[in-house]
Chain A
Amino acid sequence: MGRRILLTGLDTFWGSRVAAALERDPGVDMLLGMGTGTPSTALERTEYVRADSSYSLLSRIVQATQVDTIVHTFLVVDSSSMSGRALHEINVIGTMNLLAAAGAAGSSVRHVVVKSSSLVYGCHPSDPAWFTEDTPRSRPPRSRLERSLTEVESYVRDFADENPGVTVSVLRFANVLGREITTPISRNLARGVMPSIAGFDPLIQFLAESDVVRCLETVVLESIGGTYNVAGDGRIPISEVAKIAGVWRLPISPFFTRQAAAPLIRLGLLDLPAELETLLRYGRGIDTTRLKAAGFEFSTTSAGAVERYAEIARLERVIGDEPRYRYDADVEAFFKHSPAVVRRVEG
């Protein structure tokens, strides 16, 4: 029997891309996506259920569909896009309900994959240069977003302890850059201005969009359990990022940074959530030795991810970022579904 997979956040970048990747695998029998909005990507055979953001009805859905795998991609890692309350609802309460459904008596779930973020390590001057999966945070989280993510991970850990029969994978992704995903950094780059804290030039890790999807796909299909850091090799100074992307650097005062940046944020000239501010001061490195030992190969390095992003941005400046008419995709769909096409029946 093939895999039966439930995916959260189908209407977000992560969920839709992972669903598209999983759809291609013949070993996946059923793919059920959940989300609060309308999925924007064209998907072939993924079922879609619209739910509220905290997944209160999830246990019934899990029971009815007998899924064996839950892929939780719907964790918000960008605090500038929503209020604190909504963030808490989605991240903490959503995960709690999800895990409650997965751990209910007689549950069919055997594998839970959670897409977390390297934000759980925080960012502090006393941090080590590289965090391994077992390195604790240097200081308790102070920002709303980091607090909610640490809470989520502690729920996941409890779940793993209580359900030893379930494979639990936690993936901590570094800053993702790519054509489709928007993050505080990519929003800044798109405006042509990269904020920086005057006198600081920290080393930051990046990850290409395609590696994110491939990593989630690999972990789901090969049932790799455990906690893994996911980031491109090496780190790159923020000044270099600005240079590669061809944007201006906007130095902000290292003292009273919040106050200095506030009017600019208000005017919509830059994005500087609390997590990005500390990152621009001290940087962060996460060690990916464990993931590589598990057999995953990255397609590019941190610097490569930035370069790839810059290439796409330059291209879009010329041709625009509207999705172009994809003639071949339409023809493919026609071949697959139209009654006009004579299909040979196999066997």
Chain B
Amino acid sequence: MEWDGIDNIPTSGGALLVANHAGAVPSDAPMIMHGIETELGRPVYGLADNFFRTIPLVGTGWSRTGGVPAHPDNAHRILHDHQELALVFPEGIKGPSKLVSERYQLRRFGRGGFVETAMRAGVPVVPIAVVGAEESMPILFRLPTAAKALKLPYLPVTANHLLFGPVLGSVLYLPAKFRFRVLEPVHFDVAPKLGKYPRGRIMEEAEAIRQRLQEALFDMLAHRRSIWFG
């Protein structure tokens, strides 16, 4: 793991960290959370889809390691009431379900809910570009019909599955080199705790953050010599 620009993460006060999301069973969330906790000594609360809560062991394990169901109230409590760091992946489920051929191409940033959450809590957004997660568990193809039958958001077949089998392949990652680049924080000069914020402004800010993150990713990929050694 290598960090670039870690000083951009505030050492006190709340901040909403946003990152790109990748890998069939995403490994980037625990990597970022653990990384910041060791580098800065502050806890990071990862906001995850409620779907995780319904899986035995995974849901409980996730909440024990600092995961929180993504609900606007929960985010507001962490950011505003407790002034802590929260991590979200605005791509949502569309991020980790990308095929290997689409890697590092950011999806739509939801409906900009993360910007509204940060505005309401009166905290900055800190974008983090992650390189490496895509290659740690690359998706070769998806099985949409089987996913629907099993009520899963997506059912990927990964290179790891082919290498290690269906069970071990879901928990063993390829040793890709992880690099993180923390970008300049984005401050919104708006009054916190309002009921509503102009939708146009929200979408504009969300898109601007997406653009910066995408450019940072392309820049990092351009400078990467090896997938495995960085």
Find A135's partner among B56, B60, B64, B73 (CB 8 Å cutoff).
Answer: B73
A103-B47 Cα distance, complex, nearest whole Å: 47
Nearest neighbor of A253 in chain B, beta-carbon distance: B56
A132-B73 Cα distance, complex, nearest whole Å: 9
A128 within 8 Å of B (CB atoms): yes
A312 within 8 Å of B (CB atoms): no
Are A128 and B74 CB-contacts (below 8 A) given A199-B56, A201-B60?
Answer: yes
Report B-chain residues with C-beta under 8 Å of the C-beta of A155. Answer: none
Nearest neighbor of A251 in chain B, beta-carbon distance: B56
Interface residues of B in 59-87 (CB under 8 A from A): 59-60, 63-64, 68-69, 71-74, 77
Find A130's partner among B58, B72, B73 (CB 8 Å cutoff).
Answer: B73
Interface residues of B in 81-103 (CB under 8 A from A): none
Q: Are B56 and A127 in contact (CB under 8 A)?
A: no
A129-B76 Cα distance, complex, nearest whole Å: 11
Q: Are A199 and B73 in contact (CB under 8 A)?
A: no
B38 within 8 Å of A (CB atoms): no
A127-B72 Cα distance, complex, nearest whole Å: 10
Q: Are B60 and A200 in contact (CB under 8 A)?
A: yes
Q: Are A197 and B53 in contact (CB under 8 A)?
A: no
Q: Are B71 and A128 in contact (CB under 8 A)?
A: yes
Report B-chain residues with C-beta under 8 Å of the C-beta of A129. Answer: 68-69, 71, 73-74, 77
B-side interface mostly: helix
Shortest beta-carbon distance from A47 to chain B in Å = 45
How many interface contacts (CB-CB < 8 Å) are there between A and B? 45
A93-B54 Cα distance, complex, nearest whole Å: 36
Report A-chain residues with C-beta under 8 Å of the C-beta of B73. Answer: 128-130, 132, 135
A126 within 8 Å of B (CB atoms): yes
Are A199 and B51 CB-contacts (below 8 A) given A126-B71, A127-B69, A129-B71?
Answer: no
Nearest neighbor of B72 in chain A, beta-carbon distance: A128
Q: Are A199 and B50 in contact (CB under 8 A)?
A: no
Shortest beta-carbon distance from A138 to chain B in Å = 9
A203-B55 Cα distance, complex, nearest whole Å: 16
Shortest beta-carbon distance from B189 to chain A in Å = 28
Q: Are A125 and B51 in contact (CB under 8 A)?
A: yes
Report B-chain residues with C-beta under 8 Å of the C-beta of A263. Answer: none
Interface residues of A in 129-169 (CB under 8 A from B): 129-130, 132, 135
B191 within 8 Å of A (CB atoms): no
A274 within 8 Å of B (CB atoms): no
A129-B57 Cα distance, complex, nearest whole Å: 18
A27 within 8 Å of B (CB atoms): no
Report A-chain residues with C-beta under 8 Å of the C-beta of B55. Answer: 199
Q: Are A125 and B77 in contact (CB under 8 A)?
A: no
A30 within 8 Å of B (CB atoms): no
Q: Are B68 and A200 in contact (CB under 8 A)?
A: no
A20 within 8 Å of B (CB atoms): no
Leading 5 A-B pairs by shortest Cβ distance? A199-B56, A128-B73, A128-B71, A125-B53, A199-B57
B residues apposed to A, CB below 8 Å: 50-51, 53-60, 63-64, 68-69, 71-74, 77
A residues apposed to B, CB below 8 Å: 125-130, 132, 135, 197-203, 254, 281-282
Q: List 10 A–B pairs whose Cβ atoms lie within 8 Å, in order of A's numbering.
A: A126-B69, A129-B68, A129-B69, A130-B73, A130-B77, A199-B55, A199-B58, A200-B56, A202-B60, A281-B54
